[in-house]
């Protein structure tokens, strides 16, 4: 499977380039790549507490670990799974046994060879409670047994069929690290995880930056990379710049070369700057959406949920707040998920219909402040907002929603809080509306977000089904889909599941999880790695 892929390489690059061109329109005639230089990358995401994405497992870890850790498989820009550290794989008939063939010529940067034992050690590391893995742990949840059949052959035994296994393996949170390195204590491994990637973590100045230096012996580029061998850059300085305005200012001044989490207005003004280009790489998994908590009044009544959705028109707000950088989504799933179904008809705005619905639902009196009441109780919706997760434009959008819902008689109480308090509000069920991003590769994210099992809190209090959607039909659909390996059959199941979710008015989709990069024109060959749209600098080089 390896060889044909390499032949296909030029094609996939062309496809990728075409796709990128849609956003950036910056395909100049490619100059000859030059080696060397240090690229400065500024991230607005939180500084990871641990550079090993097995520990915990959040998006910021995924972003940086993509530079030094690699996964068994990757995805190409069409969403197809492509080989990486694994060259080939087969699934048994019953879907319970998977055999992976591994590359036999790859070494970790500490010299440890990459082999089946290494893969085994990694999966065990994820499953070890001491690791305290969260994302990766869930991804490999169905794996019961791992067997190193040969040095380059590893066999996974599953407790139930898992159609999302390959997608799970493509995520950075399930990346493969040196088993020798994993033997070290966790603090050390957090400081300097060892993988097979094109760069090596050499230094981490807390609150400031991580220094990544080129792996000279690198030979395991994913199948869709532009070149082979070692990376072109000497090093990457991975800076943590939490303030968006500063980040953009630093890009303008040339102190950094690439920024992520670019704000809509910055993207908009950057369009006029000749030396700055944009890369839009929406994250996979769920779209950004507002969940309506059906687990408690007043949203336990479908009429009230529909009335809410009818009462707000988010489109003009998205247009103005995002400066045309975000497109309205009418799907629960990200636009990069092929299984996503867009249903604009469901999410039409009609305040009059909303009022009628509320009248029907018994919220037919209006108090002195203009809010609807029922049995003396005000139609009041609590909306905790994580200031760490919602960008200012999104918070403003929520304020607009607040304003237009008020016209119909909803009182929306916006509560901007820090991350811990925000989770606290969710865990204690003190919310009616919430917007929580969720990144996972593949449509299986629907199972995590809307299966009734996900209402049961994890020991830490966490649960993913924030709409508190509990529907046995939906549960069955999602479980079946996750165990169905036939792509088109799965597609259908997911389509049916999505219609249950949207027709029940459990969610108000807004737009894809925004993931805009702005970068200096001197940076060439930079792209986002398709699985979770993390940046990769393997092909990148500095033109001056």
Partner 1 sequence: MTVSTDAPAVASVSTPATRLRSLGWVARRVGGGAFVLWAVATVIFFALRLIPGDPVDAILGGPGSQASAEAVAQIRADYGLDQPLIVQYFLAMGKLAVADFGTSYALKVAVAPYVLTQLWSTLVLTLASLVVAWLGALGLTLATSGRGRVSRAVGSGLELLAAAVPHFWLASLLIILLSNTLHWLPPISVPGPLGLVLPVLTLALPLTGFLGQVMRESLANAYEQPFVLSARARGESEWGVRLRHVLRHAALPGISLSGWAFGSLLSGAVVVETIFARPGLGRTLLSAVTIRDIPVVTAVALLSALTFIIVTVATDVVDRIVDPRVTEVASR
Partner 2 sequence: MTEILAGRLSQPAGRAPGIRGRYGWLRNTGVMIALAVLALILTAALAPQLMTTADPDAVAPAEAFQSPSAAHFFGTDESGRDVYTRVVFGAGNSLLIGTAATTVGLGLALVLGLLGGLGSRLGDFVSTRIVEVMFALPGLLLALVFIAIAGPGVVTSTVAVGLSTAPGYARIIRSQLRSVRNASYVEAATVLSHSRARIVWQHILPGALSPIFVLGTLGVGQAIVWASSLGFLGLGVAPPAAEWGAMLSSGRTYIDVAWWLTVFPGLAIVATAASFTVLGRALNARTRQEARG
Positions touching partner 2 (CB under 8 A) are 244-245, 248, 263, 265-266, 268-269, 316-317, 319-321, 323, 387-388, 392-393, 395-396, 398-400, 402-404, 413-418, 420-421
Which position among 94, 216, 300, 418 is part of the footprint of partner 1 (CB under 8 A)? 418
Q: Which does 255 bind (CB under 5 to 8 A by kind): partner 2, partner 1, none?
A: partner 1
Residue of 38, 45, 163 lying closest to 533 (CA atoms): 45
Question: Minimal distance in Å, beta carbon 417 to partner 1?
Answer: 10
Q: Which helix (H) or strand (E) holds 238?
A: strand 235-240
Give the DSSP per-residue string, 336-392: T-TT----GGGG---HHHHHHHHHHTT--EE-TTS-EEETTEE-EEEEEEETTTS-H
Q: Of the two residues 103 and 372, which places its CB atom closer to partner 2 in the complex?
A: 372
Q: Of the two residues 256 and 397, which places its CB atom closer to partner 1 in the complex?
A: 256
Decide if residue 55 touches partner 1 (CB under 8 A).
Answer: yes
> Of 114-122, 204-212, 225-233, 299-307, which segment contacts partner 1 by CB under 8 A?
204-212
Helices 351-360 and 302-311, axial angle in degrees (round to 10): 160
CA separation for the pair 336, 141 (Å, rounded): 24
CB 235 within 8 A of CB 211: yes
Question: Minimal distance in Å, beta carbon 527 to partner 1?
Answer: 25
CB 464 within 8 A of CB 432: no
Question: Minimal distance in Å, beta carbon 399 to partner 2?
Answer: 5
Q: Report DSSP state, residue 130.
A: G
CA separation for the pair 83, 1 (Å, rounded): 8
Question: Minimal distance in Å, beta carbon 36 to partner 1?
Answer: 20
Decide if residue 363 touches partner 1 (CB under 8 A).
Answer: no
Q: Tell me the pairing of strands 235-240 and 38-43.
A: parallel
Q: Is 78 helix (H, G, I), strand (E, B) or coil?
A: coil
Question: Minimal distance in Å, beta carbon 14 to partner 1?
Answer: 37
Q: Which does 490 bind (CB under 5 to 8 A by kind): partner 1, partner 2, none?
A: none
CA separation for the pair 409, 414 (Å, rounded): 15
> Of 84-92, 307-315, 455-463, 480-488, which segment contacts partner 1 by CB under 8 A?
455-463
Question: Minimal distance in Å, beta carbon 143 to partner 1?
Answer: 14
Question: Minimal distance in Å, beta carbon 334 to partner 2?
Answer: 24
CA separation for the pair 454, 149 (Å, rounded): 35
Question: Which residues in 141-271 belong to E strands, given as ranges?
Answer: 143-150, 153-158, 199-205, 209-214, 235-240, 258-259
Q: Which helix (H) or strand (E) holds 123?
A: helix 116-127
Q: Of the two residues 113 and 437, which places its CB atom closer to partner 1 in the complex?
A: 437
CB 231 within 8 A of CB 537: yes
Stretch 172-191 residues interacting with partner 1 (CB under 8 A): 186-187, 190-191
Stretch 232-291 residues interacting with partner 1 (CB under 8 A): 239-243, 245-247, 249-250, 252-253, 255-256
Contacts with partner 1 by CB under 8 A lie at 42, 46-47, 49-50, 55-58, 129-135, 137-138, 186-187, 190-191, 205-208, 239-243, 245-247, 249-250, 252-253, 255-256, 388, 418-424, 458-462, 464
């Amino acid at each position: 499977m390896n060889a044909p892929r390499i032949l296909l390489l030029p094609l996939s690059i062309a496809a990728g380039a075409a796709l990128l061109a849609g956003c950036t329109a910056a395909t100049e005639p490619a100059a000859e790549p030059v080696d060397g230089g240090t690229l400065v990358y500024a991230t607005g995401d939180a500084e990871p507490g641990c550079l090993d994405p097995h520990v915990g497992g959040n998006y910021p870890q995924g972003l940086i670990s993509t530079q030094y850790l690699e996964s068994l498989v990757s995805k190409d820009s069409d969403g197809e799974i492509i080989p990486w550290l694994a060259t080939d794989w087969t699934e048994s008939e019953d879907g319970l046994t998977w055999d992976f063939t591994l590359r036999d010529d790859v070494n970790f940067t500490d010299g440890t060879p990459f082999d089946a034992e290494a893969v085994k050690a990694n999966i065990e590391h994820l499953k070890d409670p001491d690791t305290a893995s969260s994302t990766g742990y869930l991804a490999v949840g169905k794996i019961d047994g791992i067997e190193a059949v040969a040095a380059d052959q590893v066999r996974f035994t599953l407790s139930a069929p898992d159609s999302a296994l390959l997608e799970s393996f493509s995520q950075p949170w399930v990346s493969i690290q040196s088993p020798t390195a994993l033997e070290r204590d966790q603090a050390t491994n957090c400081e300097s995880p060892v993988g097979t990637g094109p760069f090596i973590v050499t230094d981490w100045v807390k609150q400031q930056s991580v220094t990544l230096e080129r792996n000279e012996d690198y030979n395991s580029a994913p199948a869709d990379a532009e070149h082979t061998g070692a990376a072109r850059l000497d090093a990457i300085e991975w800076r943590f710049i939490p303030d968006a305005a500063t980040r953009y200012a630093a890009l303008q001044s040339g102190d950094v070369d690439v920024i992520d989490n670019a704000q809509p207005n910055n993207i908009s003004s950057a369009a006029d700057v000749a030396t700055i280009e944009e890369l839009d790489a929406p994250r996979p998994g769920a779209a950004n959406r507002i969940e309506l908590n059906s687990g408690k009044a007043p949203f336990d009544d479908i009429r009230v949920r529909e009335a809410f959705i009818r009462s707000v028109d988010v489109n003009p707000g998205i247009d103005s707040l995002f400066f045309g950088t975000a497109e309205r989504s009418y799907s629960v799933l990200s636009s990069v998920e092929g299984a996503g179904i867009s249903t604009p008809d469901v999410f039409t705005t009609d305040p009059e219909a909303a009022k009628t619905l509320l009248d029907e639902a018994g919220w037919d009196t209006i108090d002195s402040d203009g809010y609807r009441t029922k049995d003396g109780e005000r139609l009041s919706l609590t909306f905790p907002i994580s200031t760490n997760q919602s960008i200012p434009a999104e918070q403003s959008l929520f304020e607009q929603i607040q304003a237009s819902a008020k016209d119909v008689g909803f009182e929306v109480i916006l509560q901007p809080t820090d991350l811990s308090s925000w989770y606290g509000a969710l865990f204690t069920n003190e919310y009616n509306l919430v917007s929580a991003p969720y990144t996972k590769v593949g449509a299986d994210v629907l199972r995590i977000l809307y299966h009734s099992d996900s209402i049961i809190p994890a020991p830490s209090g966490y649960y993913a089904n924030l709409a508190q959607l509990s529907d046995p039909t939906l549960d069955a659909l999602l479980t079946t889909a996750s165990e169905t390996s036939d792509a088109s059959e799965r597609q259908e199941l997911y389509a049916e599941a999505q219609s249950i979710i949207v027709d029940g008015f459990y969610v108000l989709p807004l737009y894809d999880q925004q993931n805009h990069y702005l970068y200096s024109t001197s940076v060439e060959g930079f792209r986002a790695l398709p699985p979770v749209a993390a940046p990769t600098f393997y092909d990148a080089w500095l033109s001056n």
